[in-house]
A and B are shown apart, each in its own frame.
Chain A
């Protein structure tokens, strides 16, 4: 069965809520085989464990003795018999798709409460409302560890060699907060203990309420690390890594919008997903209802989220070292800054507004420095932008090494330490590099080595410029780097993004193929123009729905009716 057909079918299948997730408890165990056999063969099945199902009462565990739907061995064996690869996701925070957030009934004591005193809950893909319970409650951590231990013993006993990932739920918010975040009395109790230990000798430090808020966040983060580390220690070789999944529809406000209101609007769903990808986060549509997954949203999910993105993040599938026939997001920039809330951040420097306008969705903030910056060859094309403030010695060394390897690196030196400054000048001297100083809006130091380009600028000075001057600065840098990108004149309300792939046999004249995806979630007819541009040729339109496409000497004109969509391929010349 091809991917599109499978996705269309799974839209109404509560067992496959999206992104290769398999909710095994949502169907009779007798139906598992039939469901598994319909899953695409080359895709991994992700099984989120339902803790409450496997822990029916205190001290009792069920892996098929009481309920056939809890028989994990049979489930994994069936997947093996049908040659489907499996990965287990072990929730480490409340899950919005599980009753009680996943927690067994016998340890649910305190409701999880948000910072405004409102109870936390999630709405799943069937419209069921699941209340969250505090992960800070008495016995919760101990019971959780017992469960992990039992899972480990079960996997060992039955020789079930499947990778296990710690699953942390996140909400779509400024800081992508964990679903574990909680301000209930249970949390307060534990937090007070934490404070007493930490400030045993100097209680006066606790008088500042602002400091208390910071400490509360710190404590929440520390607890998350404790869950992850303990899970890794117990599971040993079975444990691979932690996956932070942003559940679209799990925000505090979404509870009301999706219960009292008409659900999340298509525009909001699409923008949230693109924003997550842009921020280096993993979004999931698993809790969206079939009402929210309109045909346009389903198409968007199929084209932007389905396939292999989760497998790549879980490292179950390697990243290609060069472009293949698989479409991947077109990304020109990788951004790294230790503190995105800093006053001299990329946003204040005008970089984010500039990229949002000229390279919309074609840049990405990196979550992990080491793993992502030194990627395979394909990523050499991507410009690495980093703020040196707060970077460690080895991180700075890696960035400079990238430049020596022929990559394009742009560094903001504002707030760098004396040590960093000294090391940088030593690096220039050691490698005999000639530099050029340009004063344009701020002081820029430019160095070349073969294909490599290194720019070092002062972001703090850039922050003092107005928006137009900031945009001019970045435009000049991009001109200097000779980036080739098709600019589109697109009406407000249209959702669009780019992907890229290698050429096929029919497109031999080109270097690569770039595809723009256009979606109209509004109730109005919209038109747009992709102007003709040197180095690019229009190749074809694909899968038009309520769309008209006309190729003219000025460019490609597109008209999209409400809920319309179309994809356009362009060939890029060398």
Chain B
């Protein structure tokens, strides 16, 4: 599953689950998808990875907090050798989209508006190798 990718983009939205379940339950974060320069990570793979972070609602990709989403980001780094992961809330995503008119420029704006998590392992190895290729 390990792939060398430039960046991953995780889009999530804040969901008031009362609207869906008609019962009292806390609002949660819902991962809408994780994307990279070759496409999207299949939902089945996301569910499989989510299982190790959350024990409930992993099939629906519902997370209780942003910290859980960040832990999920670390899990993504294990399987996908990307240097960065950009977390984008619906608001961040909308700001990036608003600023874009060419599809090829969207990733630049997602990087601008998203919260960046760095994969230290990949960043270190790149730093190390760059000494040899100066």
Interface residues, chain A, CB within 8 Å of chain B? 111, 116-119, 121, 123, 127-129, 131, 208-210, 212-213, 253, 256-262, 265
Would you list 26 pairs from A and B whose C-beta atoms are within 8 A, ordered by A residue?
A116-B15, A117-B13, A117-B14, A118-B13, A118-B90, A118-B93, A119-B93, A119-B94, A128-B102, A129-B97, A129-B101, A129-B106, A131-B97, A131-B98, A210-B22, A253-B33, A256-B11, A256-B35, A257-B39, A258-B103, A259-B100, A259-B104, A260-B9, A261-B35, A261-B37, A261-B38
> Which A residues lie within 8 Å of B13 (CB)?
116-118
- Asked whether A260 and B37 contact (CB < 8 A) given A116-B90, A123-B103, the answer is yes
Q: Which residues of A are found within 8 Å of B90, using beta-carbon distances?
A: 116-118
Q: Report chain B residues within 8 Å CB of A208.
A: 22
Contact A129 B103 (CB under 8 A): yes
Known: A117-B90, A118-B94, A131-B97. A256 touches B33 (CB 8 A): yes
| Contact yes or no, A116 B102, CB < 8 A | no
A451 to nearest B CB, angstroms?
47
B38 and A262 contact, CB distance less than 8 A: yes
What residues of B have a CB within 8 angstroms of the CB of A259 in the complex? 100, 103-104, 106-107
- Assembled-state Cα–Cα distance A128/B105 (Å): 10
B84 to chain A, nearest CB (A): 13
| Cβ-neighbour of A253 out of B22, B40, B94 (below 8 A) | B40
How many residue pairs, one in A and one in B, have C-beta atoms under 8 Å apart? 80
Question: Which B residue sits closest to A212, measured CB to CB?
Answer: B19
The 6 nearest A-B residue pairs measured at CB = A117-B90, A259-B103, A259-B106, A261-B39, A116-B13, A256-B35
Dominant SS among interface residues on chain B: mixed
Decide: A129 and B30 in contact? CB cutoff 8 A: no
Tell whether B20 is near chain A: CB-to-CB under 8 Å: yes
Residues in A neighbouring B37, C-beta threshold 8 A: 260-262
Residues of B within 8 A of A117 (CB): 13-14, 90, 94
Check B39 against A265 for contact (C-beta < 8 Å). yes
Most chain B Cβ neighbours within 10 Å, of A111, A129, A210: A129
Closest to B107 in A: A260
Who on chain A is nearest to B86 by CB? A260
A207 (CB) vs chain B CBs: closest residue: B22
Q: Considering only CB atoms, which chain A residue lies closest to B14 in the complex?
A: A117
Within the complex, the shortest CB–CB distance from A184 to chain B, in Å, comes to: 11
Q: For A129, what are the chain B residues with a Cβ–Cβ distance below 8 Å?
A: 97, 100-103, 106
A539 to B13, CA, bound (A): 56
Q: Is B32 an interface residue (CB 8 A)?
A: yes
Enumerate chain A residues within 8 angstroms of B39, measured Cβ to Cβ: 257, 261-262, 265
Given known pairs A116-B13, A118-B94, A129-B100, the reply for A256 and B19 (CB within 8 Å) is no
**Partner of B110 from A212, A258, A260, A262 at Cβ < 8 Å:** A260
**B33 surroundings in chain A (CB, below 8 A):** 253, 256
Determine whether B18 belongs to the interface, using a CB cutoff of 8 Å to chain A: yes
* Partner of A127 from B21, B32, B104 at Cβ < 8 Å: B104
